[in-house]
Amino acid sequence: MVDYDGNNATLEMIYDLLKKIGTEHKYISKEDYSVIKSKCNVSSQDQLMDRIFFQLEEIQNQMERLNWLNSHYRILHNFAQICSKTLSEEILFKEAYQMVSQVMPTDSFYIATYNEGDSHIQVPFMIDKGKEYSPVTIELGENHTSQAIMTREIIHHKESRMEEEYDVYLGDEEAGLTNSCLFVPVLIDNQVKGVISAQCYAEFAYRKEHEELLQIIGTQVFSSIDSVRLYERIYKMSLLDDLTGLKNYRAFHEDLLSLISESNHTIQLIMLDSDSLKKVNDHFGHDVGDKYLKVLADGIKSICNKTIEGYRYAGDEFMIIVKSSQEIMPLFEKLKEYYLLHPITIRGEQIFISISTGVSVYPKHGVTVDSLKKSVDTALYSAKKQGGNQIVFSE
């Protein structure tokens, strides 16, 4: 015989629970459950009711997390806009810290980056109680950051002494250890990119929604980092000459303009032009002509250092910026010696590289990029007019 009264009481109880969650947006406590359950008196259904109550509680918890995240949607949206427009990793890290600090207690914070397969982890940004620490490198091993990377799981730890992980102490002696710590791995395209961590001196400071928030922020940050690094690689490639490996025309103009704008010191500009590339191309072909240019560039590389930078300016014209007042003639002699010792051998015939060279000095011969270029070009033309294989200084 069906117990309609019992079934109705059970349905009434489920209705009351759903109403609290869906309509009244209230939390269901164990006490609420006990009161409702006592009214229906269906002990045979205790196990089923426990399962129903558990599922309803899970639904409620998920709704609470979603509501919490939705309440921070505008902040997350603004942060995403910042990430999409920022081409500086340093700015991204600082903005991430500010973002996290707005929405959850954050006494300490760090971001660690990782390339899969490496034996070490980079920690480019760490901050504790407003004090920013220098970047460090740690070994992949027995620490929370490594565990988060290797397990790909969030680590929610009760306390952490950062010096054990980085030889950097996050949490001063007076304040003690951070008592609530989240270590959230960030995965993009199924690859672990790093870990984002928030920590607090208070106990039980973080909930499930904080973990989810850190995952969202971490994903935005690391996606932007990938974009920044891709942009940097493309930009660097755009400043290099593919054939010779020297910086190109564009890089030359940017570097010289920057030096003139920022420096009151002497800048010397050397312009080189090969004396016989056309003959080599006509007689041996452009493949050999390319080898000729590579050896010419290698000679320039052989004299480059922190104060000397070489560029392929155009065709067989090269520029050298000397950021000092050192003597130029010894450099010219070193170049001639290099080319004498490195001829190109084609079918038993040796091809020696010969260059005409002009030199101008900033600010004596020009105070702008264009005026300095014009001056050094005039000096180079004089060297070629005089038969080549020599150097002429601007007057």
In a domain, 220, yes or no: yes
Indicate if 33 and 158 belong to the same structural domain.
Answer: no
- pLDDT of 395 reads 86
Domain assignment present for residue 160? The answer is: yes
Q: Tell how far CA 82 is from the center of its chain.
A: 15
Question: Which CATH number fits the domain that encloses residue 106?
Answer: 3.30.450.40
The model's pLDDT over 129-174, given as tens digits with 9 standing for 90+, comes to 888 999 999 899 888 889 999 999 999 876 544 444 443 334 444 4
Residue 319 pLDDT? 97
Same domain assignment for residues 49 and 131: no
Q: Could you say which of 30, 47, 71 is where a domain stops?
A: 71
Domain encompassing residue 26: 4-71
- Dump pLDDT digits (tens) for 314-330: 999 999 999 999 999 99
Q: Is 361 helix (H, G, I), strand (E, B) or coil?
A: strand
What value does the mean pLDDT take over residues 59-75? 65
Between 361 and 45, whose confidence is greater?
A: 361
Q: What is the pLDDT of residue 376?
A: 96
For residues 211 and 154, the answer to whether their CB atoms sit within 8 Å is yes
Domains held by the chain: number: 3
Same domain, 91 and 139: yes
Q: How much is the pTM?
A: 0.57
Confidence (pLDDT) at 92:
87
C-alpha count within 13 angstroms, C-beta hemisphere, residue 328: 22
345 DSSP assignment: E
Half-sphere exposure of 243 (CA within 13 A, CB side): 20
Among 187-196, 214-223, 282-291, the minimum mean pLDDT is found in 214-223
pLDDT computed for residue 195 by the predictor: 94
Shared domain check, 275 and 168: no
Mean per-residue pLDDT of the chain: 83
Q: How much is the average pLDDT of 105-115?
A: 92
Gap between the Cα atoms of 170 and 340, Å rounded: 60
- If you average pLDDT over residues 383-391, what whole number do you get? 93
Residue 241 lies in a domain: no
Give the per-residue pLDDT at 255.
94
Cα–Cα nearest to 182, from 115, 118, 100, 91: 100
Residue 115 belongs to a domain: yes
Span 272-284, mean pLDDT? Answer: 92
Measured CA to CA, the distance from residue 21 to residue 236 in angstroms comes to 56
| Long-range contacts of 285-291, Cβ-Cβ distance < 8 Å, separation of 24 or more | 288/344, 288/346, 288/351, 290/243, 291/344
Q: 66-70, 81-85, 242-246, 320-324: lowest mean pLDDT where?
A: 66-70
- Amino acid identity of residue 255, one-letter, is D
Of 272, 263, 246, whose CA–CA distance to 328 is shortest? 272
Per-residue model confidence as pLDDT tens digits over 231-254: 888 888 889 999 999 999 999 999
Asked whether residue 176 falls in the same domain as residue 123, the answer is: yes
What is the average per-residue pLDDT within 105-111? 91
Last residue of a domain, one of 71, 99, 121: 71
Which pLDDT belongs to residue 184? 93
Structure token pair of residue 147: 């565990």
Same domain, 67 and 123: no
Coil, helix or strand for 305? strand
Residue pointed to by tokens 């918890």: 61
